[in-house]
Amino acid sequence: MFNYKKLLIAAVLIVLMVLMIVLFGYLRRRLRTLEEQPGTANAPTATSLYTALGNPSRATNDPGNKNNFLLVKRQYTLSYNNDKGEPNWVSWSLQSSDIGDAERQNNFHPEAALPDGYKRVTPNDYTGTGFDRGHVCNSKDRSSSAEDNSETFSMANMLPQTPDLNRQVWESLESYCRNLVKQGNQLFIIAGGYGSAKTIGKSNKVNVPTNCWKVVLVFPQGSSDINKNTRVIAVDMPNVQGIATDSWQKYLTTVQDLKRKTGYDFFSSVPQDVKNALETKKDSGR
């Protein structure tokens, strides 16, 4: 005799299982969204990852702080300057798991996560200007997945850079950093620009920095113990043509010098004696 009771129980169990799968998928998507939005419960975790050594401009996620707005993503953290239409700085970590085989997405796009009323620079604002859309957190540093790579093409992660800087000198340091990771290191990187050579843009005005800078801390893989002996690489590169054959080592400087030129307080979260040692050392570039 056909058992309708057992059939009903089986049907209910199948429905419950489907509902659990749907709910689990929703929760995963919701968690990812929260991680990427500033001002959420999960934002401090992401912020602590990329600004663990200090928030150099004291950026906040207050929408009223338009020229020093803290935008937190899983892939990087940045301070956005609405008047300039670009980041003041971008910080990210780099380890072997961040480098993969994902294709370059090349989907330059306005940054949707900026608050209402903010300037949303478009790819066309750079078109025909003679300046590259220069990644700050570069594409290959986030090549473990298409999603991570896509986030590096946000226009909030771009600075107008000359082709000689972006494609040659700046890129050579990016490649050097990835080689350090392949040799068993992990990096903390923060970079940005300063100065104003001119503005470009069609629908939005974007500042062209006179210089682009970068600070790199180097740790053995699996360690983030920062001390006076921690390697620190600091560069200050002119944003001009005619430097294509220069080595990145030519532009080595100290964090102290960058602090003077940018006004940023680097390494504010580390002990003062360690901070002093890191700020004054100049790397050999080898």
Enumerate the active-site residues: 135
Taking the C-alpha atoms of residue 60 and residue 70, their distance in angstroms, rounded to an integer, is: 5
SS3 content of the chain, % helix, strand, coil (to 5): 35, 20, 40
Q: Which residues pair with 97 in a beta bridge?
A: none
CB atoms within 10 A of CB 144: 17
Q: What are the Cα distances from residue 168, in Å, to 2, 52, 162, 173, 208?
A: 76, 30, 10, 9, 18
Phi-psi region of 231 (alpha: psi -120 to 50; beta: other; left: phi over 0): beta
Cβ atoms of residues 122 and 203 within 8 Å: yes
Would you state the structure tokens that stand for residue 62, as one six-digit string?
A: 């207050």
Distance CA 85, CA 134 (A): 13
Rounded Cα distance between 81 and 86, Å, is 6
Q: What number of CA atoms fall less than 13 Å from residue 223's CA on the CB side?
A: 11
Q: Count other Cβ atoms within 10 Å, centred on residue 233.
A: 25
214: part of which helix (H) or strand (E)?
strand 211-220
